[in-house]
Structure 1
Amino acid sequence: MTGASSGFGRATARRLASQGRPVVAVARRMDRLKELCDEVPDGRVLPLEVDVRDQDAVAEAFALLPDDFADVEVVVNNAGLSRGFGPVQSAAVHQWREMVDTNVMGQLHCLQAVLPHLIASGSGHIVNIGSVAAVYPYTGGNVYAATKAFTHQLSLGLRTDLEGTGVRVTCIAPGMARTGFALVRFDGDQERADALYRDVDPLTAEDIAEAVSWCLAQPARVNVNMIEIMPTSQPFGLGFRSPTTAKG
């Protein structure tokens, strides 16, 4: 479980651990991971302070998993972020690089580390967290949305590559959800982050954890290719109906 220190990752780690699954929780913030461990009883969560952008660190972390956690059955590629909010022509290159290195290369590093084990076991499930931004464009989404389009296409490609191996692949594409995501995007500007959710009832991290859990619970013969989840008040992208429009 990558990006396990907050948001979708933290909620999903809690949900899977509550079902009795051992969870390897990967993130850059060990203090947050320790908090997660305190929320889950019986030592079911193994915290790993790893930056998914570091290929060698990811490979080493998975290679050295203790016996109780080494038999990986599920990979939830959740680590990701958005930096900045504006047109391409006024964007900062370092923000592009951070998004691509995390959302694209980080995902690939994790897959490279665990796919040999999953294939050898003849079963397993990869769940990639995408976004409706990959499908519905919105002003300021550009590079972030492109990285999520990569996630969607990679998920479909993996389905083809893994045919006959018994390994399933799912992509879950959330719409607007209230997590720490907007705060990261706006460099800690709480007022701007809060404004994004004004007059909206967004998804919660637990909604996405429920979707992950449901996908994993399906019989081995069932592969859920894609789930797209939006708040009822979000027709597409980041557009929202006004209260007047919503009432007809």
Structure 2
Amino acid sequence: MTSTPTPRAVVTGASSGIGAATVRRLRAEGWQVLAVARRADRLADLADQTGAEPFTADLTVQEDVNRLAAHVQATGGLTTLVNNAGGAFGLEPVAEANPDDWQRMYDINVLGTLRVTQALLPQLIASGRGDVLVVTSTAALGPYENGAGYTGVKHAERMLTTTLRLELIGQPVRVIDIEPGAVATEEFSLNRFGGDAERAAAVYAGYQPLVADDIADVIAFALSRPHHVNIDTLVVRPRAQVSNTQTARG
């Protein structure tokens, strides 16, 4: 009988928001976790709080991704990759959108996910019990005004994820897509609006949005199912948000 490997996850975008919450949740459930992000100071604080191993890397830089893969291989491999690193920049009509914002979003959300998945996939297959979990967004499900840049990259990331599942048929790897709606984190909307705190706060005004721990809970649920069970796609929104364009506000 083949022994079950100790679960070990790489979590990207781990310095804040959903990534940090996922690291905390998995560590609380006994996982080994390699927390990956660009900001070493935040990773150090998270490591002190949780016992996770920090690893500083910029996932838009191939050399950093190669270094990450080599480190994972040298320290015992892994069973799970949580592709969480991403973000939105700008909220303008197509006619006024900044191509640099679109390029930045594509580099982080799509090409970053591609680089890390390619680099770690051989080790996930070798584990005999691998998981590729991608945190996309309900933006991957349909358009909304002024959101073409973000919805475009999240559609691309979703297609990367669902196509990978088809290509891995017969391999011992699950491919899971978690699609959050409105999640109030400390940085997502602030980054989107270039540091405009008032505009960022307005996104979540008048209703109860999700928080990072809600998504970490869903991630932990999907990963903790028996390995023959694959949560292909899980959409999670606040009750008040019924679509990308409709939210009940008090």
Structure 1 length as normaliser, TM-score? 0.93
Superposition deviation, residue 30 in structure 1 = 0.9
Corresponding residue of 2:178: 172
Question: Runs of at least 4 residues of structure 1 off by over 6 A?
Answer: none
Q: Percent identity?
A: 41
Question: Once superposed, what is the RMSD of the aligned Cα atoms?
Answer: 1.3
Query: Deviation string for 1:172-226 (max 9, x for gaps)?
Result: 0000010120001011111110111110100010010001100111111111100
Superposition deviation, residue 18 in structure 1 = 1.0
Corresponding residue of 2:152: 146
Show structure 1 runs of 5+ residues with no match. Answer: 244-248
Corresponding residue of 2:195: 188
1:1-248 equivalent positions in 2, closer than 5 A: 1-40=11-50, 43=51, 45-65=52-72, 69-179=75-185, 180-243=187-250
Q: Secondary structure of the residue that 1:65 maps to in structure 2?
A: helix
Out of 112-121 and 234-243, give the one that drifted further.
234-243
Q: Determine the C-alpha separation between the residues in 1 that align with 2:249 and 2:215.
A: 25
Q: Secondary structure of the residue that 1:80 maps to in structure 2?
A: coil
Is the strand fraction higher in 1 or 2?
2
Query: Does the 8 Å contact 2:72/2:78 carry over to 1?
Result: no
Q: Determine the C-alpha separation between the residues in 2 that align with 1:4 and 1:196.
A: 23
Query: Deviation string for 1:219-238 (max 9, x for gaps)?
Result: 11111100000100001004
Q: Determine the C-alpha separation between the residues in 1 that align with 2:225 and 2:57.
A: 30
Q: Secondary structure of the residue that 1:126 maps to in structure 2?
A: strand
Q: Secondary structure of the residue that 2:198 maps to in structure 1?
A: helix
Corresponding residue of 2:3: none
Query: Deviation string for 1:28-63 (max 9, x for gaps)?
Result: 1111111111211xx3x1111101101121111220
Counterpart amino acid of 2:164?
L
Query: Deviation string for 1:110-144 (max 9, x for gaps)?
Result: 01110011122322111000100111321121111
Q: Secondary structure of the residue that 2:72 maps to in structure 1?
A: coil
Query: Does the 8 Å contact 1:123/1:165 carry over to 2?
Result: no
Superposition deviation, residue 93 in structure 1 = 1.4
Structure 2 length as normaliser, TM-score? 0.92
Q: Secondary structure of the residue that 2:145 maps to in structure 1?
A: coil
Query: Does the 8 Å contact 1:129/1:151 carry over to 2?
Result: no
Count residues with an aligned counterpart. Answer: 239
Out of 171-180 and 113-122, give the one that drifted further.
113-122
Superposition deviation, residue 241 in structure 1 = 2.1
